[in-house]
Amino acid sequence: MVRINWTSIAIADLKSIAEYIARDSKRYAKLQVQKISQRVKDLKQHPQTGKIVPEINEQNVRELIEGNYRIIYEIVNAERIDVLTVHHSSRDLNRRKFL
């Protein structure tokens, strides 16, 4: 089974998302974080599920979509996946430094 490693950037992204949504609803903030976390857990069984990130165009850098968020991850090897960032889809990914 693949091990999931959350980078410090991805952890900070998730925390920021939760804080932002919690301004309006703590309940929905918790639900969104749970949905994102569950999608990432699903990678343990199916690491190739996501599509290649078009802005990066590397076979091992992929993304899952959960609501308005892009969960971008790297397949490091057969045993490890790094979650690189959780990015809102309305924002320009090219402005982010996460690789």
Q: Where are the domains of the chain?
A: 3-89
What is the pLDDT confidence band of residue 8, given thresholds at 50, 70 and 90? very high
Question: Is the pLDDT score of 10 beyond 90?
Answer: yes
Contact between 39 and 64 (Cβ < 8 Å): yes
Specify the pLDDT at position 21.
Answer: 96
Considering the chain, what is the average pLDDT of its residues?
94
Question: Is the pLDDT score of 68 beyond 80?
Answer: yes
Question: Is the pLDDT score of 93 beyond 90?
Answer: no
- CATH classification of 3-89 is 3.30.2310.20, yes or no? yes
Cα Rg for the chain, rounded, in angstroms?
A: 13
Q: Residue 98 — φ and ψ, nearest 5°? A: -140, -5
Coil, strand or helix: which one is 86?
strand
